[in-house]
Amino acid sequence: MSRPILPGQTIGVLGGGQLGRMLAMVARRSGYRVHVLTSESDAPAAPFANRSFVSDYRDEATFRQFADSIDVLTFEFENVPSEPLCWVPERVPIRPGPHVFHATQDRIREKQFLAAHGIPLPRFAVVPTLAELPAAIEAVGCPAVLKSSGGGYDGKGQFVIRTPDQLTTAWQAIGAQSSTLEQFVELAGEFSVIVARGVSGEFAVYEPIYNEHANHILDVSTSPSGVPAAPAKAALEIAHAVASAFELVGLICIEFFWTHSGEVLVNEIAPRPHNSGHLTIEAHATSQFEQQLRAVCGLPLGSTRQVRPAAMANLLGDLWEHGAPRWEEVTRVPEAYLHLYDKEHPKPGRKMGHLTVCGESSAAAVRVARLIRQQLPRR
């Protein structure tokens, strides 16, 4: 077995967004060095990195320099090209492995991988061109959701087809590219499960986190989730199965749809920490970022025990419409924790930060989180 990567050694992170920032914060706290490769000159992770390499991911000279300077490579963002991974020297483990990264970058590959491993999914069909869309509608039924195969997140590249006369409109709306068509699921709710798998195949799984979306973007997450025992158990088993199927070394988040008949279906997966897991920073014995660090460094995994109920509310750029939000609304609440990502341009829909509130119950925490957020904007 490979030797663990220990404090003093260097974690290489592909991508420089807020997930890389929060990983870098825990890694630096524990004495690791962090090198980040990012395409943005003002990346949120940069202030916590010992060194940032700013370049296009395909720039071979910079990529090699970055890869030569690290002891393990991990990701905070999966939509980076996979070709440069062959420039990583053999002594540097890539965790999760390139096969995980390859499968989860593309919705078609991801669904085919999961279906081949017997993971329950919404009914779906692959739609390479507009010509195949009518047959896909026949197979999947209407309403259905057309989703572009690559590059889509936070509901981007999606169109809900309600009547068969919308096919051309839907195809144009998602950018006329290869896609999947999925059954539109009548949701009882959505939740996510985060699971880590270590180098010797051991697992650490977090209990489900309940997620509410607004405009296709995650809005609020709460834990404990309130998901009944049977669907929760089914989801934890699926999470194990997915991590095993990938022979994962690292951490993965599985987003679930939960239907009125109690069925759980996998919506999508992300081979990295996830927005819904941010509340683990304050609410769990080991945060998802600490867990990612442990898994990719080959250390024993941390406890996923929840220490106190919590809710997380995203802070989008919309809150900045009339100037910087009134942060005193957060700071006056003893169990409210503000996280800002150092992003300069608060565009509507852009994730600028989040707020976690701990409380006696997740219902109480979510009430306070929503109330604080409501009071933030200047009018």
Closest to ligand AMP by CB, 260 vs 305, is 260
Closest CA to 356 of 36, 7, 22: 22
Q: Is residue 237 within 8 Å of 243, Cβ to Cβ?
A: no
Amino acid in position 154 = D
213, 240, 308, 350: residue in contact with ligand AMP (rule CB under 6 A): 213
Give, in order, the Cα–Cα distances in Å from 107 to each of 25, 92, 176. 31, 28, 15
Nearer to ligand AMP, 66 or 210 (CB): 210
Rounded-to-integer distance, Cα 160 and Cα 185, Å: 11
Closest residue to ligand AMP, Cβ-based? 185
Q: Which residues, other chains included, contact 122 with Cβ-Cβ below 8 Å and sequence gap of 6+? A: 182, 183, 185, 257, 265, 267
In this chain, which stretch among 96-104, 147-155, 296-304, 344-352 interacts with ligand AMP, using CB under 6 A?
147-155
Residue closer to ligand AMP (CB basis): 214 or 363: 214
Q: Long-range contact list for 228-231, CB < 8 A, 24+ apart? A: 228/262, 230/262, 231/258, 231/262, 231/263, 231/264
CB of 255 to ligand AMP, least distance (A): 6
Q: Do 211 and 190 meet the contact criterion of CB atoms below 8 Å apart?
A: yes
Least distance from C-beta 203 to ligand AMP, angstroms? 24
Residue 372 tokens, joined: 């604080």
Min separation Cβ 367 and ligand AMP, Å: 22
Question: According to the binding rule CB under 6 A, does residue 240 interact with ligand AMP?
Answer: no
Q: Is 190 in the site for ligand AMP (CB under 6 A)?
A: yes
Q: Which two tokens stand for residue 23?
A: 């990983």
Number of residues forming the site for ligand AMP (CB under 6 A): 16
Q: Is 142 in the site for ligand AMP (CB under 6 A)?
A: no
State the nearest-atom distance from the C-beta of 122 to ligand AMP, in Å: 5
- Applying CB under 6 A, the span of 4-12, 55-63, 182-190, 226-234 interacting with ligand AMP comes to 182-190
The residues that touch ligand AMP, with contacts defined as CB under 6 A, are 122, 145, 147, 153, 155, 182-185, 187, 190, 213, 216, 255, 267-268
